[in-house]
Amino acid sequence: MQRWAMLQAEYLREAAEIWNKTILHAGQGLSLPDRRFSDEAWTQNPAAAYMAAMYLLNARTMMQLAESVQADHKTKARIRFAVQQWIDATAPSNFFALNPEAQRKALESRGQSIAQGVQHLLEDVRRGHLSQTDESMFEVGRNVATTEGSVIYENELFQLIEYAPRTADVYERPLLIVPPCINKYYILDLQPENSFVRYAADQGLRVFLISWRNADESIAKRTWDDYIADAVIRAIGIVQDVAKQEQINTLGFCVGGTMLGTALAVLAGRGEQPAGSLTLLTSFLDFSNTGVLDIFVDEASVRVREMTIGEQSPTGGGLLQGRDLAATFSFLRPNDLVWNYVVGNYLKGETPPPFDLLYWNSDSTNLPGPMYCWYLRNTYLENNLAQPGKVKVCGVPVDFGRIEAPAFIYGSREDHIVPWEGAYASTRLLKGDKRFVLGASGHIAGVINPPAKNKRSHWLNPELPADAHAWLAGATEHPGSWWPRWSEWITSHSGKQVAAPKSPGNRTYRPIEPAPGRYVKQRA
């Protein structure tokens, strides 16, 4: 009660101060430290300035009240999240009647901004999602996902792309990339200047990549075991065959890293060690620290999914719609990925600028329900994969400690999807030689950071203490991209250089179609 009384007294004091500044100085002395209210239209209108200042005060106070709730960690996190969603949704900037900036634009354009905003709204209703970029400016295969290559294998779950060599000689040990199946692979091959795939090929690597099929009803009953056996393990075997190498370099991004780690653990349980190296980019193997996503997962919510789209559903499996996942991830950062575009697109009638990363973000994917439900229960809910032998995949007890490959593990410091401490936890599960690198920024921008841009920084520490924050305390910050660190590491595990192959595939696995292939072009 004492805490609440202090918050009440502080609220009344600040509210009185805002009122007095509005009356005495027509709102000119009010501080509006929020980019939503940065336009001069807010400060020049005393009523708008007062409203914005009171909104910010109310928002701070509500979050302080949420922090004061006496509850267990998960309940408190859910309260904080719900309160933050309400705060962000009710900002005066989100409503035309309360937004002086949008009103001014309507007057200056003689109503054209309103008409354009309505048009944007109707177009987004037709598309089924909120536009975050000018989608007409991009096309998969034309100006995104353009690195030259060929599809050399396909089944109903994936296509395997072999990229054309970009150097006269290549390292004999190839690289297989396993991207996340909850998004399209071309986040790793956006445009030439920020393509991780092209960069890897430029380093002399022979690059292969899994392009996941956008699930439809024909594969709605597929399971996690199917994705491991018929996709990841199948791809590993094909790359070994085509490259004529017993061991290959492997890389997994996000849930692709979880799938790759699981596949390698299954193979290790069978006595096979096909990976000469393992790279994990913002990936979980240990799901004990999943950050804000933890608030969405409990026994009841997982059970509902299992009964509606999982193997226990009346049909034996359904689809998790891509738009559901996309909406969930967008509302993790609602001001940046939702309300910012509501205001710009609809209230101001602006067309969002072209941005390849946001085009990719809007290109959602469906997942088979049984596969997704198994993943949800055994990772986020029960964290079974991290417990050696606790769960079987493809009939084999999973133990990441059996994987003998050296590992390069990357985390992003501001990642809200895979907190970097969660990525670091993989160092405790993998037993081979390991290196951890921490990059600046978030889940995507931290990963897609080409050296030529000379942006951001990364941290290095050769020691790997048990505690992630102890690692950071002993780490040294270095300017620029982490990609050259990875290039130096991966090439040291790639064997000698040989003449680049003159054609993709081999007699068994012949080119089917040019990259990027059909699967990545399928829309949810």
* Catalytic positions: 254
Work out the number of other CB atoms within 10 angstroms of the CB of residue 501. Answer: 16
User: Residues 511, 152: contact at Cβ < 8 Å?
Assistant: yes
Structure tokens at 125: 């209703």
Token look-up 């009660």 returns 1
User: Rounded to 5 degrees, what angle do the CA atoms 467, 469, 472 make?
Assistant: 120
Distance (Å) of CA 160 to CA 165, 185, 250, 351, 359: 16, 11, 14, 36, 23
* Three-class SS of 195-260: CHHHHHHHCCCCEEEEEECCCCHHHCCCCHHHHHHHHHHHHHHHHHHHHCCCCEEEEEECHHHHHH
Distance (Å) of CA 23 to CA 28, 37, 421, 493: 10, 20, 49, 70
Strands 169-171 and 497-499: antiparallel
Write phi, then psi, for 264 (nearest 5 degrees). Answer: -65, -35
User: Residues 342, 93: contact at Cβ < 8 Å?
Assistant: no
Write phi, then psi, for 123 (nearest 5 degrees). Answer: -65, -40
User: Residues 100, 92: contact at Cβ < 8 Å?
Assistant: no
Of residues 121, 108, 87, the one with CA closest to residue 39 = 108
Cis peptide before 46 (omega within 30 of 0): no
Strand blocks (E) in 23-181: 149-154, 158-163, 169-171, 175-178
Of residues 483, 407, 498, the one with CA closest to residue 447 = 483
CA distance 465 to 443: 23
Long-range pairs, 73-78, Cβ under 8 A, ≥24: 74/294, 74/295, 74/298, 77/292, 77/294, 77/295, 78/295
Structure tokens at 323: 């738009």
CA distance 223 to 17: 60
Write phi, then psi, for 30 (nearest 5 degrees). Answer: -75, 140
